[in-house]
A and B are shown apart, each in its own frame.
Chain A
């Protein structure tokens, strides 16, 4: 009786897992910059933060988004013909989508010969996603690589990624997660046994400035980071260096001191701010607010490294 019940419970669990869905906006293969070996990085959609320098504006909203580039449009009307909700009209040879009628079904995108209409983000099932990425296994096996969950914020889709990490663990696939740590501690504790590497961000130490630049306070982030670093898990702390926003000596010193206090010899990687995502803002009709900031020079990066290296931490660029 008991056996039957557990089996039933297991079945139910499995059923739930197959029904679980996640929303992602990209799968990057041959990812060679985030951790050991050749990796496959899954970008989850949706983030509690909205950093001004975010290079993936399409990662911020939790829902798929329909975008349109008029210069690619053939004005063929295929989208209007195939829209089941009559949400599309053509005005002056340009596509207008009525947001209240559009349910993001994607028919128009599928039938757009010019690729002018595109859907940022798609829903995936656990099995579907697993099958999609598992084709890269030969590369992980050869190079000591694996899967990296990134975003957006993967932990914002906690149930899905927990199940996904478990599935990887069962199949001996190495995993990493990139997280902003803006989440509750129980979730972090839940994933630690099933994830091999954690890459987390530390951006600004001053809570007020953090909120201005990222939309949220950093209180929870700092608490989580402390526990994570103390726990002995494999952690890499990343710090994007954005000139004029967080590259001042005071901030750098505060960060160095904080990380050192959590774990001596912790690994910290400095990432130079870049503007490669700017065109995506235009495509999404969003404002890029850092137009006045240029990427940091090599000298600036080195200067920041020197400041951080006065603490007992291991700094990489």
Chain B
């Protein structure tokens, strides 16, 4: 099925080692040196102009969609303006580290060391964050209470209004900026936006020139024609509105690429791709300009481009987010603005692209509504059966409720989608981000030790009572809520301080061009210029906490088999002197994920409590914080720093991930998992993540596949938010650990993303293997 062109492009991509390039860092450093003393927006505009007009223009062999961040695919520029300190510390060890290593050649290294690093100390966003946030909040990271984002990467979690770029072109946006300037002629911010618009068109123009140049020397007539067409397209978009499918795809990609050059943000997501692309495809199809096959090939080429993008991360971040992929969440399906079914031809062509190419990016998310055709659900399941961990499936109907609960209008909620792993977001109008994770299992550890860490002895929370005083579940819950609130306060201080730092020194002008609200208010995205601003925090360890509280409730209060302090003392010593107790807790306690109300209520209550506590905190725009139940891979480093827990988990072992049951404890099959998770109020959160693992046999044949589809449908009937699946035998994973070279293309689902199994560090691999297989 897959064409020679795509085979070649894919092989090249898969065979290339991730590599760091100095070019962007040199340009941005020079630009900042040239603009000392100017307004931050002027400096950013100058820096982006320098990058876009001077970076290497790269058109790879056989490409139909062009524009690259680095000379080789899977390459990463450096973004020293955010944090140069980590680069200095780690540049020599990047190639050897366990988590997401990157090569860097001596020449690039030398340039970075001599021309980039000396300039930045004291001038980075990171420096500003350190000034803004309390020390305690940073130290809590070493304790395993939090993980903070933003310290070395930009905030991100951006879904811009790509549709606006395609429909109006930069010229259309320029008209809007000029209109705003008329009212406010001296506004430097708006002037900077104009400068950026011309820089982006200059960037595209350079690609048009390069394509023309390559065409001149091209001996292959077919390719020569392709290059001329590429040149024509690049001279039109994104400056002008797209007039065809090919132009729409290229216009999209240019803007997406520019966002990736602007900042090293997390999760710059294409969002509801099929919605804004389909009109162009239908028009071309009607006019006979393009065939379905040709359009599929262009989409496949775009898929390769998505998979090329990666960002080198600082070491600790690489542990909490241990992946080369960059959370480019591409949504298909869902509803239209008017509430009718949004599934279209492009939705199916995206599924097809992933089926044919099996790449780790983009992260394909299927938004499934009761109004979606059954075909869409079943085709999503067929892709699931391929075992690439994709797509993730989302409940489009609950998504609308969740977005409206967070203040979106009905229409904006219907147009909303998913960003990052599973986070709900408006499209092109929302500043939605979480600054990292809160370790809820550690909060419970503090609760059971009177506010003190069991691993370091440091008093992290208020004294809420010793085990002797906590003589009922009500008292434990009251204490637990106090501890969560205290940690949320610390995390909130960090979040606010960090956001203030970005707002002060790091406007993101390209992003702001395509986010509704920013031009109108002449306020940057980072300054709260978006129409909606939804702050969130992620809670980690739901399953571990549920099983721990479930065990305490059962053995201490219901069965009265032991006093609470027998458990807490054993936790202190990592069960060294009470192994019998550990086995009892582990094997005889009630376990979350088996449709057992006894313990499931603990998880329901935990999420409800977390949601309630966070509502009491707000951002500068007075929006309350929302709860998001995802770990990415933070449940591993958090686990390492968390003492033994009351569910029999040993110290340093991984915590549970997402809202999934504790690894291997869901013994009653997938329907029981679904029933359990259906008890959670997903709409009240800003996203929940449920991982499930199935053996390939369970999905064999049309009949079983349909039953699998029904399982998903029931979860969504019950109000579930998200599900993702690994369809792979345990034996295969064990084999892949032993002979990684034979399993280079084995993709599996980790957290909110898929990744090559053999590229993961050993502890992430082990954790994935330990999750329960749902077999026959």
- Give me the interface of A with B, judged by CB distance under 8 Å: 28-30, 32-33, 37-38, 40, 74, 76, 78, 110-115, 135-136, 138-139, 142-143, 145
Q: A76-B580, A115-B587, A139-B714 known; A32 and B707 CB under 8 Å?
A: yes
Contact of B718 among A32, A138, A145 (CB under 8 A): A138
Contact residue among B579, B588, B713 (Cβ-Cβ distance under 8 Å from A142): B713
- Are A135 and B710 closer than 8 Å at their CB atoms? no
> B595 — which chain A residues lie within 8 A by C-beta?
135
Q: Which of B37-45, B61-69, B273-281, B665-673 contacts A (4 or more CB under 8 A)?
A: B665-673
Residue B294, interface by CB 8 Å: no
- Nearest chain A CB to B56 CB, angstrom units: 53
Say whether B698 faces chain A, with CB atoms less than 8 Å apart.
yes
Nearest CB on A from B677, distance (A): 12
Q: How far is the CA of A272 from the CA of B581 in the complex (A)?
A: 44
Q: Which residues of A contact B469 (CB under 8 A)?
A: none
Closest 7 CB pairs of A and B: A113-B583, A143-B710, A113-B584, A29-B669, A30-B669, A76-B580, A29-B671
Q: Is the CB of B710 within 8 A of A139?
A: yes
| Inter-subunit contact A114/B710 (CB<8 Å) | no
B residues at A contact (CB < 8 Å): 579-584, 587-588, 595, 668-672, 674-675, 698, 703-704, 706-707, 710-711, 713-714, 717-718, 774, 776
Judging by beta carbons under 8 Å apart, are A30 and B670 in contact? yes
Q: Can you name the residue of chain A whose Cβ is closest to the Cβ of B704?
A: A32
With most chain B CB atoms within 10 A of its CB, the pick from A30, A33, A37, A145 is A30
Q: Is the interface of B mostly helix, strand, loop or mixed?
A: helix
Known: A74-B579, A110-B588, A114-B583. A139 touches B672 (CB 8 A): no
Q: How far apart are B580's CB and chain A's nearest CB, in angstroms?
A: 4
Q: Which residues on B sit within 8 Å (CB–CB) of A28?
A: 669
Distance between Cα atoms of A246 and B405 in the complex (Å): 64
Residues of A within 8 Å of B668, CB to CB, are 29
Given the complex of chains A and B, what is the CA–CA distance between A38 and B581 in angstroms? 38
Q: How far is the CA of A225 from the CA of B669 in the complex (A)?
A: 34
Q: Report whether B587 and A38 are in contact in the complex, using a CB–CB cutoff of 8 Å.
A: no
Please indicate the chain B residues that have their CB under 8 angstroms from the CB of A135 in the complex.
Answer: 595, 675
Q: Are B710 and A38 in contact (CB under 8 A)?
A: yes
- The docked-state distance in angstroms from the alpha carbon of A28 to that of B587 is 20
Indicate if the CB atoms of B580 and A74 lie closer than 8 Å.
yes
**Residue pair B713, A74 in contact (C-beta under 8 Å):** no
Whether B587 contacts A114 by the Cβ 8 Å rule is: yes
Contact partner, A30, options B584, B717, B774, Cβ 8 Å: B774
B377, chain A: closest CB distance, angstroms: 11
Residue of A nearest to B775 (CB): A30
Residues from chain A with a CB closer than 8 A to the CB of B718 are 138
Q: Is the CB of B711 within 8 A of A38?
A: yes
Query: Smallest CB-CB separation from A136: which chain B residue?
Result: B671
**B774 — which chain A residues lie within 8 A by C-beta?**
30
* Chain B positions within 8 Å of A138 at CB level: 675, 714, 717-718
Residues of A within 8 A of B582 (CB): 113
B584 closest partner in A (C-beta): A113
- Closest residue of chain B to A36 (Cβ to Cβ) is B703
How far is A292 from B674 in the complex, measured between Cα atoms in Å? 41
Contacts of B698 in A (CB 8 A): 32
Q: Which residues of B contact A136 (CB under 8 A)?
A: 671, 675
Some 20 contacts from A to B, beta carbons below 8 A apart, are: A28-B669, A29-B668, A29-B669, A30-B669, A30-B774, A32-B704, A33-B776, A38-B671, A74-B580, A76-B580, A111-B588, A113-B583, A115-B588, A135-B595, A136-B675, A138-B714, A139-B671, A139-B711, A142-B714, A145-B707
A113 and B669 contact, CB distance less than 8 A: no
Closest to B706 in A: A143
Smallest CB separation, B729 vs chain A (Å): 15
Q: Which residues from chain A contact B581 at a C-beta distance below 8 Å? A: 113
Partner among B583, B672, B703 whose Cβ is within 8 Å of the Cβ of A74? B583
Residues of A within 8 A of B674 (CB): 139
Taken together as a complex, chains A and B put the C-alpha atoms of A183 and B557 apart, in Å, by: 48
Q: A32-B776, A74-B583 are in contact. List 17 more A-B contacts (CB 8 A).
A: A28-B669, A29-B669, A29-B670, A29-B672, A30-B711, A32-B698, A33-B776, A37-B707, A38-B711, A76-B580, A112-B588, A113-B580, A115-B588, A138-B718, A142-B710, A142-B714, A143-B707
